[in-house]
Amino acid sequence: MANVVVDPKKHPEAVLGDFKNPDPLVTFKPKDVAFVYGSKWKQRYFVKRGDDYYVLGVQWDVIAKMWRKYTVDPGTDWWVVHYPADPMQRPTGPLCDGCHSTNYDVATKHVTEWNVGCEKCHGPGAAHVAHPTLTNIVNPARLDQTRGNDVCIQCHSQGQPLEKPLNGVYYDWPVGYKAGDRLSDYWRLEEHKLGEETFTHWPEGSAHKNRMQGNDFVQSQMYKRGVACWSCHDAHGTDNDALLVKPVASLCTTCHNPLSPAGPNEPTLEHSHHSVGNAQCVDCHMPKIAREIANFNVRSHTFRFIPPAATELYKVPNPCTTCHRDMSPANATATILKWPDVSPWRVQ
């Protein structure tokens, strides 16, 4: 999170796109670019015009190692109708920078630092630096459950500001929100109607788009029971993928084990009917169904098992037939119904 936005003049190694082999989509050189944005899934390129930045119309797909067009088309985000189609009329200040910098000031367009800095999660720190005590700095883990997770959800969500436009400008981030506030005073999560597919949601309510971990997680029983984003992720950095506090294979069983009240209620975790080598918890409870770029998806965070019957009803992918490509949803349902530890009422 600390290294998404990088100036390629200072860090040429941050440029991932292939600028050696000509591509008709690519009409610029790294030297024309003020910032490169992203390194894990996709990289976008910003140019400076006046006191604003703009995103060029091409992006590097880091996973597939290829160039793809970058446009935000009508119907693919709520703010599109409020901006001209020309990308050079869509400044990043209102549309991106609030989440990709620390202390973006909408009046001066200045930031105290690019990327996710300490103050974005811990609030203003000057008083704490001058005189460090426990009470003059925000620690998300000491806030109540809602305000604590809100610190992460301010960026990891799709939503709309309550006040729009703000002084004539449509922002796609919660202007004014600081760590410790209630995010719902500034930001409304994107709504969803059961049975309807939208640019953000599958018809059964799971996220269909990237950076929706917050929209998903608030639906989970874990969120209601005090589990937080940082129960599983350490934002300050770890050696595991996705900043997990433990490798993915042993993370869930920290809390879900035969001695734990968190369920499922069984002496071992045999309810999966698979050995760990064949299917891990995350394969069934966090399927990759939220689109990050092209056909590459990130994991769902509702943690619910999406039954094969939901595929038939709502066209949302289910974990069983995603892995077992030759199995039909109806056969998968028939199989699950034979498992004594799964309630038929929940999967039919």
* 147, 164, 271, 291: residue in contact with ligand HEC (rule CB under 6 A): 271
Q: Which residues are CB-contacts of 257 (< 8 A; sequence separation ≥ 6)?
A: 269
Contact between 47 and ligand HEC by CB under 6 A: the answer reads no
118 binds ligand HEC (CB under 6 A): yes
**Residues 258/259/265/271 CA torsion (nearest 10 deg):** -10
C-beta closer to ligand HEC: residue 77 or 203: 77
- In this chain, which of 93, 304, 310, 329 binds ligand HEC, going by CB under 6 A? 304
Q: For the segment 180-209, give every residue that binds ligand HEC (CB under 6 A).
A: none
3-state secondary structure 300-326: CCCCCCCCHHHHHHHCCCCHHHHHCCC
Is residue 38 at the binding interface for ligand HEC, with CB under 6 A as the rule? yes
* Member of 19, 274, 294, 309 binding ligand HEC (CB under 6 A): 274
User: Rounded distance, CA 295 to CA 312, Å?
Assistant: 21
> Please, which of residues 215-244 interact with ligand HEC by CB under 6 A?
217, 220-222, 225, 227, 229-236, 241-244
Contact status: 65 vs ligand HEC (CB under 6 A): no
- Calculate the dihedral angle through the C-alpha atoms of 142, 146, 152, 156, rounding to the nearest 10 degrees: 170
**Is residue 42 a contact residue for ligand HEC (CB under 6 A)?**
yes
Which residues, numbered 3-32, are part of the site for ligand HEC (CB under 6 A)? 4
What is the CA 327 to chain-centroid distance, rounded?
A: 30
CA distances from 70 to 56, 67, 221 (A): 8, 9, 36
Contact flag: residue 262 with ligand HEC (CB under 6 A): yes
Smallest Cα–Cα separation from 3: which of 121, 114, 123, 154?
A: 114
In angstroms, give the least distance from the CB of 70 to ligand HEC.
Answer: 8
Q: Is residue 344 within a helix (H) or strand (E), and if so which, with residue range?
A: helix 344-347
Window contacting ligand HEC (CB under 6 A); options: 9-17, 21-29, 190-198, 285-293: 285-293
The stretch among 26-34, 81-89, 309-317, 331-339 that binds ligand HEC (CB under 6 A) is 331-339
**91 makes contact with ligand HEC (CB under 6 A):** no
Our CB check for ligand HEC shows the closer of 197 and 255 to be 255
> Residue 27: is it exposed, middle or buried by C-beta count within 10 angstroms (0-12/13-18/19+)?
exposed
**Residue 264 binding ligand HEC, by CB under 6 A:** yes
Please report whether residue 41 would count as binding ligand HEC according to CB under 6 A.
Answer: yes
Residue 56, number of CB atoms within 10 A of its CB: 18
What is the closest distance, in whole angstroms, from the C-beta atom of residue 253 to ligand HEC in the complex?
Answer: 5
